[in-house]
A and B are shown apart, each in its own frame.
Chain A
Amino acid sequence: MADNCIEIENLYKSFGKIKALSDINLILKRGKTVALIGADGSGKTTLLRLLVGLLYPDSGKILTLNFNPSKDKASILKNTGYMPQKFGLYEDLTVIENLKLYSKLKNTDNNFDILLEFTGLKSFQNRLAGNLSGGMKQKLGLACALLSEPELLVLDEPSVGVDPLSRMELLKLVKKMINKNTSVIWSSSYLDEAYSFDSCVILDKGKIIYKGLTKDLGNNYEDFEEKVIKLMGGFIETPSLIAKNYNVAEHNKECVVLAEKLSKKFGDFTAVKDNSFCIKKGEIFGLLGPNGAGKSTTFQMMCALTKPTSGNGYIMGIDVVENPAKARSYLGYMAQKFSLYSRLTVYDNLNFFAGAYGLFGKNKKEKIKRMLDIFELNEYKNTISSLLPLGFKQRLSLSCALIHEPPVLFLDEPTSGVDVIQRKEFWTHIKALSNIGVSILVTTHFMEEARFCDNISLFYGGEIIAADKPSEIVKNSGTKNMQEAFIKLIKKARNE
């Protein structure tokens, strides 16, 4: 048995004009855990799909478990557990039906009981997969990948959009379920996850910019992060142009965004219970919590997209239930993922959103120009937005949310799936906005972003379990950082 699990030589792959991967050379040993790091669009998914034979290479040689994936896909898949990005689950099948289906497809007679036990899905086995929370879907996806007791486990961004506690549990689960001969390849945009692996491969624009032991990059996480950022081209903080060009309407409201005992019930299920908060002028307010804690529901109630069962919300003093249209006019909203019109150009998108917010004529043209200037989008003005580099897509999303210069900005997991550098750049804009007096409500699963917030409200099961300044929350919980504080507090709430 050869001791290499993956051998790649001079691999190239492109889709039309887009070069997805070029000149990849890589050897991975058996029995190791490997993190594949890189931004969205850096080629991680393409590389993983090539390894299991879901794609053909343009040129170059690949050996996975000593088989050529282009010719011998079946032999590789027999000994490989592959978990695709959307987990590949049938949402209209129950947990147990999904497992049974995949075990038949993989020709195994594995005992599900152990897997269900380990993943904690036993009591949910008759629930439809579509009704599981993100964390549970992820575990079910993993269980399906583990069915055949694979030699090689390939996981494609298993932790995108999942809260820190579920991420930690998944990582533990993987390490528990494998033996010392199992190789794991795990792609991720979370550096803390990557740091816990044996070795790492960093991809940038389709090229490998680092391969080697994780420990070689730093003896602690901070060093590691700094090194990775440096490898990816470094990050130099340049002041955002927002301050100069953005005019927030003057006001003297005490609470720009005010929630008063917001509650939402779906049938018997209470999604949000008595949620109250007040966001002041220029404050960044973070809503944190595991998946399914009620963050999105709170968001939707504050945007007047769903009606609260009881309680009320106010934006700039306007009642969101009674006067939703007026309340929304003070609001900029950036949704999870890229929710712009991907076939329109940058300019057309801005133009559309400006129109949708009621701007017209000269004023509209001026505002569009201002946004193009602030976010340095002039160069891409006529580019179809789906072809933009990821960082620019994000700038465009933000500029569309800000086109009417609202005094309030809502951000729903704005940095999900985005690499470290782009995340940092994004936050310079957010901080600049807060400095000129825009009030911001944000949700995130990145705990290092939480420290940019002035105040945080930690959610569990629809209720607030902690609300304070980030530093105070960390101090009061007796932990070192926000991540640990989060995990400790959520665990405590769960056990109560």
Chain B
Amino acid sequence: MKICFALIQKEFYQITRDFSSLLIAFVLPLMILLLYRYGVNLDTVKITLGIKNDDINPKLSTLVEAFNKSKYIKTEYFFNKEEMYNKIKNSKLKGGIIIPNDFISNLEKENTAEILVITDGSEANLANYVSNYILEIANNWLNSSDFKFNLNSPLVVPVTRYWYNQDINSHYFILPGSLAITMNMIGMLLTALVISREWERGTIEGLFSTNISKFDFVLSKYIPYFMLGILSFLFNVFICIYVFKIPFRGNILILIFVGALYLFCCLGVGLTISSNYKEQFSSSQMALSFGLLPALMLSGLIYPINSMPKIFQYLTLILPPRYFIIFIQSEFMAGSIPKIILINSVFLFILGVALFLLVYSSINLRLEKCLKK
């Protein structure tokens, strides 16, 4: 135990003297959070819409007015079709509508009136927004206009309520979720380098020629970075709750507990990488490709796991972020739900222990691997 303590002390000296560990633990997550807060937005956005009105009937003015009033739309009027098309081609407009000159007369004749909606199909998501906005505004207008009697009243009217996130503000689930990715990166980057660094600098030879045991060595790599990681985690949670004002409905102790389990997994992945590569460069490459990419793509944060191909769905089962993201999103938005906490903690714990065993078995206190050329 004395040996382990001496090694841990050594790691702390190195952490405090090497500015890059602190950079990874505190500055990097802050930058990622800022990116997710201000850079990533899955919500409805304000669009610019071109309008060409060919119908001079004064009854139409209220419809044009309605487009103008919408807080999601900025309108621009055109008298020339080509001019509007050009602006759409140059992406100056996200869409355009053309109201034909028989619009009102059609309505008055109780016929179906048509408007032409042009959207930019190369941005499919946005195109959807545009056509939905227009449809909704047009329907609303119709409901309050003189032509209301033309409508058949629908049989079913859905009344939507968004639970947990009334404003459907995507930051409320993206930011807590991004914590999982941040912690994943930190946990791996911090530890991916620590064993390779000893190989690279030749200090491992000195270490292995002393009385240290494998257990001492492995623990001395886990404990300091675990502590640093937890500090970093608390720092991130603090920023989310108090600076970005993300509502937190769960229990902070449970959050820390499951966060610790998750960190345990991440450190395990980092150390597994580190103990198998003798160069810091390859280790950090591996950490980025195994740490960041799967966490981003396969964890369910951005793309729902259910819509992935089956094989990828199975693959996500061994990704720690998957479990943590489910947990942290529900902990933030819905409060503590025993079943979710329990299931995800158990999986994280199993993964963490498995990774610990993997690290333990891939370290041997000899230099055998290093001389491979």
Interface residues of A (CB under 8 A from B): 15-16, 18, 46, 49, 52-56, 73-74, 77-78, 80, 82, 84-93, 97, 100-102, 104-107, 128, 144, 386-387
The answer for the CA separation of A73 and B208 in the assembled complex, in Å, is 10
Among A91, A101, A106, which residue has the most Cβ atoms of chain B within 10 A?
A101
Could you jot down 27 A-B contacts, CB within 8 Å?
A: A16-B373, A18-B373, A49-B367, A54-B205, A55-B366, A55-B371, A73-B366, A74-B211, A84-B202, A85-B205, A86-B202, A88-B203, A88-B205, A90-B10, A91-B201, A97-B10, A101-B6, A101-B10, A104-B3, A104-B5, A105-B3, A105-B210, A105-B211, A107-B2, A107-B211, A128-B17, A144-B206
Total interface residues in chain B, CB < 8 Å: 29
B-side binding surface: helix, strand, loop or mixed? helix
State the Cβ distance, A74 to closest chain B Cβ, in Å: 6
Among A92, A106, A128, which residue has the most Cβ atoms of chain B within 10 A?
A92
Among B17, B209, B210, B371, which residue has the most Cβ atoms of chain A within 10 A?
B209
Could you say which residues of chain A place their CB within 8 Å of the CB of B373?
A: 15-16, 18, 386-387
Q: Which residue of B lies closest to A80 (CB)?
A: B209
Could you say which residues of chain B place their CB within 8 Å of the CB of A16?
A: 372-373
Q: Which residue of B lies closest to A88 (CB)?
A: B206
List 5 additional contacts besides A73-B365, A77-B209, A106-B211; criterion CB under 8 Å.
A54-B209, A82-B206, A87-B206, A92-B13, A105-B210
Please determine whether A54 and B18 come into contact, CB atoms closer than 8 angstroms. Answer: no
Please determine whether A15 and B371 come into contact, CB atoms closer than 8 angstroms. Answer: yes
Interface string of B6-50 (1 = CB under 8 A from A): 110110011001100000000000000000000000000000000
The answer for the CA separation of A85 and B370 in the assembled complex, in Å, is 14
Could you say which residues of chain A place their CB within 8 Å of the CB of B5?
A: 104
Please determine whether B212 and A88 come into contact, CB atoms closer than 8 angstroms. Answer: no
State the Cβ distance, B369 to closest chain A Cβ, in Å: 10
Could you say which residues of chain B place their CB within 8 Å of the CB of A18?
A: 373
Q: Which residue of B lies closest to A20 (CB)?
A: B371
Could you say which residues of chain B place their CB within 8 Å of the CB of A80?
A: 209
Answer whether residue B368 sits at the interface, using C-beta atoms and an 8 A cutoff.
Answer: yes
Interface string of B193-230 (1 = CB under 8 A from A): 00000000111011111111000000000000000000
Q: Which of B233-284 contact A (CB under 8 A)?
A: none
Please determine whether A85 and B13 come into contact, CB atoms closer than 8 angstroms. Answer: no
Interface residues of B (CB under 8 A from A): 2-3, 5-7, 9-10, 13-14, 17-18, 201-203, 205-212, 365-368, 371-373
Q: Which residue of B lies closest to A384 (CB)?
A: B373
Among B2, B201, B202, B210, which residue has the most Cβ atoms of chain A within 10 A?
B210
Could you say which residues of chain A place their CB within 8 Å of the CB of B6?
A: 100-101, 104-105
Please determine whether B203 and A89 come into contact, CB atoms closer than 8 angstroms. Answer: yes
Please determine whether A55 and B368 come into contact, CB atoms closer than 8 angstroms. Answer: yes
State the Cβ distance, A460 to closest chain B Cβ, in Å: 29
Please determine whether B366 and A54 come into contact, CB atoms closer than 8 angstroms. Answer: yes
The answer for the CA separation of A77 and B210 in the assembled complex, in Å, is 6
Please determine whether A86 and B209 come into contact, CB atoms closer than 8 angstroms. Answer: no
Could you say which residues of chain B place their CB within 8 Å of the CB of A15?
A: 371-373
Please determine whether B367 and A107 come into contact, CB atoms closer than 8 angstroms. Answer: no
The answer for the CA separation of A53 and B203 in the assembled complex, in Å, is 16
State the Cβ distance, A483 to closest chain B Cβ, in Å: 29
CB-CB under 8 A for A88 and B207, given A73-B365, A97-B13, A105-B212: yes
Could you say which residues of chain B place their CB within 8 Å of the CB of A85?
A: 202, 205
Could you say which residues of chain A place their CB within 8 Å of the CB of B366?
A: 53-56, 73
The answer for the CA separation of A410 and B14 in the assembled complex, in Å, is 37
Please determine whether B7 and A105 come into contact, CB atoms closer than 8 angstroms. Answer: yes
The answer for the CA separation of A74 and B213 in the assembled complex, in Å, is 9
State the Cβ distance, B15 to closest chain A Cβ, in Å: 10
Please determine whether B205 and A92 come into contact, CB atoms closer than 8 angstroms. Answer: no
The answer for the CA separation of A321 and B92 in the assembled complex, in Å, is 53
The answer for the CA separation of A54 and B3 in the assembled complex, in Å, is 19
Q: Which 7 A-B pairs have the closest CB atoms?
A: A88-B206, A86-B202, A104-B6, A84-B205, A105-B210, A82-B209, A54-B367
State the Cβ distance, A107 to closest chain B Cβ, in Å: 6
CB-CB under 8 A for A93 and B209, given A15-B371, A15-B372: no
Please determine whether A52 and B209 come into contact, CB atoms closer than 8 angstroms. Answer: yes
The answer for the CA separation of A88 and B209 in the assembled complex, in Å, is 10
Could you say which residues of chain A place their CB within 8 Å of the CB of B203?
A: 86, 88-90
State the Cβ distance, A63 to closest chain B Cβ, in Å: 18
CB-CB under 8 A for A92 and B18, given A84-B202, A86-B202, A105-B207: yes
The answer for the CA separation of A144 and B365 in the assembled complex, in Å, is 19
Q: Which residue of A lies closest to B18 (CB)?
A: A92
Please determine whether B367 and A55 come into contact, CB atoms closer than 8 angstroms. Answer: yes
CB-CB under 8 A for A86 and B13, given A15-B371, A16-B372, A107-B3: no
Could you say which residues of chain A place their CB within 8 Å of the CB of B367?
A: 49, 54-55
State the Cβ distance, B372 to closest chain A Cβ, in Å: 6
Could you say which residues of chain A place their CB within 8 Å of the CB of B365?
A: 73
Q: Which residue of B lies closest to A147 (CB)?
A: B210
The answer for the CA separation of A97 and B12 in the assembled complex, in Å, is 12
State the Cβ distance, A184 to closest chain B Cβ, in Å: 16
Please determine whether A78 and B211 come into contact, CB atoms closer than 8 angstroms. Answer: yes
Q: Which residue of B lies closest to A83 (CB)?
A: B206
State the Cβ distance, A151 to closest chain B Cβ, in Å: 15
Please determine whether A104 and B371 come into contact, CB atoms closer than 8 angstroms. Answer: no
